[in-house]
Amino acid sequence: MTMISGSERIIANLLASRTGQELTNSRSWRIGTALSGIFREKGISNTDQLVCMLDEPEHSHLSQQVVEALLNNETYFFRDRAMFDQLAHRVLPKIANQRAESKSLRILCAGCSTGQEALSLAMIFLEQTGRWTDWQIEITGVDVSHSAIATARSGIYSQFEVQRGLSVAQMLANFSETPMGWEANENLRQMTQFKVHNVLHPMTTNAPFDMILCRNVLLYFDQATRQNVLTRLLENLSPDGWLMLGAGETVADRNSPLMPVEKGINLFRTIATDL
Ligand SMILES: C[S@@+](CC[C@H](N)C(=O)[O-])C[C@H]1O[C@@H](n2cnc3c(N)ncnc32)[C@H](O)[C@@H]1O
């Protein structure tokens, strides 16, 4: 196993204190690779030099830049397609019944990265036209990374990004080619909004969310941080709401009121439910 050096430990601690994300010894190889752009920009070659610069007042933005570079922003449209299919065909019909009177739905994507998860959800609502006519649907994506949120807000993706997870038909139906890249169409953008927010901190919202997706975010938190984040998310989830975690993620806390809805689909509620 690679041992982490003193300066790498300082950098890993910076990431953990700002975001809760742990860089264990086995993932320390990420540090050099992820920071190579900053090394080039600053004309330095190692983490010892970088740590010295972090103390200098003229580099006050550097620590945020370092944190952003170390975050794993991997995402793509309809990531874990089977989970989106379950949502589309088994969960959303239930939610449509639950909220038939108000015709209003609020969804949070916690740790949304560059926005593909929120836009995938919005595409499902658009594809199910008959069901959601006249509904007020609000999908909010939040992430601690300023640069990821800037991309999500722009709604513009490269050819490579827009093809990851989308069929050509979905791409052409939902995006328009511009000189900057493929831009999400207005009907997707009207349903989605993106904000910088750290899930370690309390979130103020006008009303609770009917569904929260927090996928592939809890993975690199330690157990205590994971429970803390789940508690925070629950504070913002409606009592009859739904929580979806990523493939392989679960609520490993016997005291949590969250219960799995069904084995294998990473969907949780605080009330017993049959799908
Ligand atoms: C691997 S991506 C997952 C993106 C998307 N949910 C998906 O599954 O495709 C994890 C995201 O969580 C974000 N993240 C990590 N720690 C966070 C925190 N404390 N608060 C908010 N977002 C965080 C990262 O910036 C990153 O964009």
Task: Among 3.40.50.300, 3.40.30.160, 3.30.70.2190, 3.40.50.150, name the CATH number for the domain at 81-269.
Answer: 3.40.50.150
Q: Is 165 in the pocket of ligand 1 (CB under 6 A)?
A: no
Using 50, 70 and 90 to split pLDDT, how confident is the model at 57? confident
Q: Express as a percent the part of the chain with pLDDT over 70.
A: 99
Q: Express as a percent the part of the chain with pLDDT over 90.
A: 83
* Token pair of 149 as six digits: 């949120």
Residue with the bigger pLDDT between 31 and 145: it is: 145
Q: Is 155 in the pocket of ligand 1 (CB under 6 A)?
A: no
Residue 270 and residue 239 in contact, taking contact as beta carbons nearer than 8 Å: yes
CATH 3.40.50.150 location in the chain: 81-269
Q: What is the mean pLDDT of residues 11-24?
A: 93
Ligand 1 atom, smallest distance to 213 CA: 6
Nearest CA to ligand 1 atom 5: 112
Q: Is 215 in the pocket of ligand 1 (CB under 6 A)?
A: yes
- C-alpha distances (whole Å) from 219 to each of 41, 141, 142, 150, 238 are 30, 18, 17, 24, 24
Mutate to test the pocket of ligand 1, among 109, 143, 227, 229 (most ligand atoms within 8 A of CB): 143
Q: What is the pLDDT of residue 1?
A: 54
Nearest CA to ligand 1 atom 3: 216
Residue 102 CA to ligand 1 center (angstroms) comes to 31
Residue 217 CA to ligand 1 center (angstroms) comes to 5
pTM as predicted? 0.95
What span, in angstroms and rounded, lies between the C-alpha atoms of 129 and 132?
A: 6
CATH 1.10.155 location in the chain: 6-70
Please write the tens of the pLDDT for every residue from 96-137: 999 999 999 999 999 999 999 999 999 999 999 889 999 999
Find all residues with CB under 8 Å of 183, minimum gap 6, and list them.
Answer: 154, 155, 156, 157, 175, 176, 177
Residue 152 and residue 114 in contact, taking contact as beta carbons nearer than 8 Å: yes
Find all residues with CB under 8 Å of 172, minimum gap 6, and list them.
Answer: none
Q: Is 115 in the pocket of ligand 1 (CB under 6 A)?
A: no
Find all residues with CB under 8 Å of 270, minimum gap 6, and list them.
Answer: 234, 237, 239, 257, 258, 259
Ligand 1 atom, smallest distance to 18 CA: 19
The class that CATH gives domain 6-70 is mainly alpha
